[in-house]
């Protein structure tokens, strides 16, 4: 089996088992080099001079990662007031934020509209706000008459790795359908709003072809508005979640070429050089993290084999919520003699010697968490080397929608996060929750 973390030199000479001993299990481990590489891939996606990348902060909002992402020249897509507070704390300016809101109250719309204006504490250019319904447009008009705004449209194109993440096309809650454009124009006039940009998001984890179809569709729609300065095509770029089977990255170069052709052509015909934006989340952060956890129990139940771990869905939700696949690397204690016959380490460098390569028979096993629900699993019927208590597991590509969707179900503390810097140094970038943290907000005893 392909040991992915070793092939990518993910730990930069650090031993994952020692990381767990030092910082506790489970543990999110991030790699700075990979994060920076992914940022650069997307920044270089297009050669169009006014091309911008807004990182979707919902994907992972750890401040240390946000800071690196800003250093690499990305801006932000913000979906809540809280995300804006985090982005500000990481150094982003309001003018580097596009709020893409849906179903929010007047207060949040006012916060987003005023965050960079003279009326707020942040004395810079303001952020921009996008809404995606006629009723939110009316509310935005009331709280920020005369404002410069974006609108999110549903161009009819949708897709994604699971029905729960499809955000375009029929039957999703997102975007204004094009047939409402006359009413949109009426509301813009009523509140003297200036429509400076339109945006869409087709869905998460989509093929390049579908992304490009979405771009074409929203560009067609853009021609119905005269004074646009920005068009934002959303995120959704795929990442290779099956690296152990040899899956490689998507062909960004090919996608970029097609985007370039459309961007230059549109700008020429529109008569002005607009800014074109993309809005990736997963592509930027998924691959820079491994979630480490520990096998604590093994059992047979009927025909099924189970490995019980500390990787419950309070720590990592994607398999439970979307049946998502994540490759798993195994890190075994080399000092434990029994069963060593299945493993050999002769091809490994000294620093990787504890990341054994397995070459014996595999078995099908269900890897489950420690939460009190049957749906709590990390992998179903996965072919793996026979696991043992004490094995440390590495859940690969866990940086996107991993920690950001973690919770404290069963009063379990959310794990710590560490960052391996480009010179191999390990730094704690979020401490584990304490029980005091978890009790602190409760009152009334
Ligand atoms: N822009 C908007 C408006 C979005 O709603 C999203 C994600 C993105 C950009 C970034 O999409 P990405 O490049 O990451 O595909 N929790 C799910 C994914 C939910 C996506 C939500 N919106 C998962 O774990 O697969």
* pLDDT tens string 126-144: 789 999 999 999 999 999 9
Pairing of strands 289-301, 392-395: antiparallel
Residues 411-441 pLDDT 10s = 999 999 999 999 999 999 999 999 999 999 9
DSSP for residue 223: T
* Cα 165 to ligand 1 centre (Å): 7
Report whether pLDDT(354) > 50.
no
Owner of token pair 């959303």? 234
Mean per-residue pLDDT for 365-382? 97
Nearest CA to ligand 1 atom 8: 235
pTM here is 0.94
Report the pLDDT value the prediction gives residue 120, as an integer from 0 to 100. 59
Q: Which atom of ligand 1 is nearest to the CA of 286?
A: 14
Q: Is position 372 annotated as part of the catalytic site? A: yes
Mean per-residue pLDDT for 163-177? 93
* Cα 71 to ligand 1 centre (Å): 22
- Per-residue pLDDT band for 349 (boundaries 50, 70, 90) equals very low
* Cα 237 to ligand 1 centre (Å): 9
Mean per-residue pLDDT for 114-118? 77
Nearest CA to ligand 1 atom 4: 201
Residues 384-399 pLDDT 10s = 999 999 999 999 999 9
**Active-site annotation holder among 288, 301, 372, 407:** 372
Contact 82, 102 (CB under 8 A): no
296: three-class secondary structure by DSSP: strand
Nearest CA to ligand 1 atom 7: 204
Helices (H) and strands (E) in the chain, counts: 13, 19
The set of protein residues with a Cβ atom below 6 angstroms from ligand 1 is: 56, 59, 77, 100, 165, 167, 201, 204-205, 234-237, 279-283, 318, 322, 400-401
* Cα 163 to ligand 1 centre (Å): 13
């Amino acid at each position: 089996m392909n040991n992915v973390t070793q092939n990518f030199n993910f730990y930069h000479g650090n031993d994952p088992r020692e990381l767990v001993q030092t910082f506790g299990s489970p543990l999110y481990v991030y790699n700075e080099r990979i994060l920076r590489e992914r940022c650069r891939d997307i920044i270089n996606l297009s050669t169009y001079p006014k091309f911008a990348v807004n990182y979707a902060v919902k994907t992972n909002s750890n401040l240390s990662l946000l800071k690196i992402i800003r250093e690499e020249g990305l801006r932000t897509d913000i979906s809540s007031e809280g995300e804006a507070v985090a982005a500000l704390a990481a150094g982003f300016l309001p003018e580097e934020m596009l709020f893409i809101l849906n179903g929010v109250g007047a207060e949040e719309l006012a916060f987003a509209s005023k965050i960079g204006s003279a009326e707020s504490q942040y004395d810079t250019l303001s952020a921009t706000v996008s809404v995606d319904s006629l009723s939110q447009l009316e509310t935005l008009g009331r709280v920020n008459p005369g404002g410069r705004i974006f609108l999110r449209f549903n161009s009819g194109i949708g897709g994604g790795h699971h029905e729960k993440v499809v955000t375009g096309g029929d039957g999703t809650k997102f975007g204004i359908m094009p047939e409402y454009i006359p009413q949109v124009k009426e509301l813009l006039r009523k509140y003297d709003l200036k429509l400076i940009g339109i945006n869409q998001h087709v869905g998460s984890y989509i093929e390049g072809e579908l992304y490009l179809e979405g771009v074409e569709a929203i560009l067609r729609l853009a021609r119905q508005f005269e004074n646009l300065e920005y068009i934002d095509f959303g995120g959704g770029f795929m990442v290779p979640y099956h690296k152990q089977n040899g899956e490689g990255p998507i062909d960004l170069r090919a996608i970029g070429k097609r985007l370039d052709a459309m961007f230059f052509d549109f700008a020429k015909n529109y008569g002005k050089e607009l800014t074109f934006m993309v809005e990736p989340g997963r592509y930027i952060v998924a691959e820079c993290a491994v979630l480490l956890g520990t096998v604590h129990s093994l059992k047979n139940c009927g025909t099924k084999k189970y490995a019980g771990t500390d990787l419950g869905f309070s720590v990592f939700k994607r398999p439970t919520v979307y049946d998502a696949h994540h490759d798993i690397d195994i890190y075994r204690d080399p000092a434990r003699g029994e069963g060593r016959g299945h493993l050999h380490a002769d091809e490994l460098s000294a620093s990787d010697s504890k990341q054994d390569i397995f070459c014996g028979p595999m078995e099908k096993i269900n890897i489950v968490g420690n939460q009190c629900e049957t749906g709590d699993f990390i992998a179903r019927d996965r072919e793996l080397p026979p696991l043992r208590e004490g094995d440390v597991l590495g859940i690969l590509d866990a940086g996107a929608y991993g920690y950001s969707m973690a919770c404290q179900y069963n009063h379990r503390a959310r794990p710590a996060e560490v960052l391996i810097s480009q010179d191999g140094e390990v730094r704690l970038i979020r401490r584990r929750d304490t029980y005091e943290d978890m009790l602190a907000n409760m009152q009334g005893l």
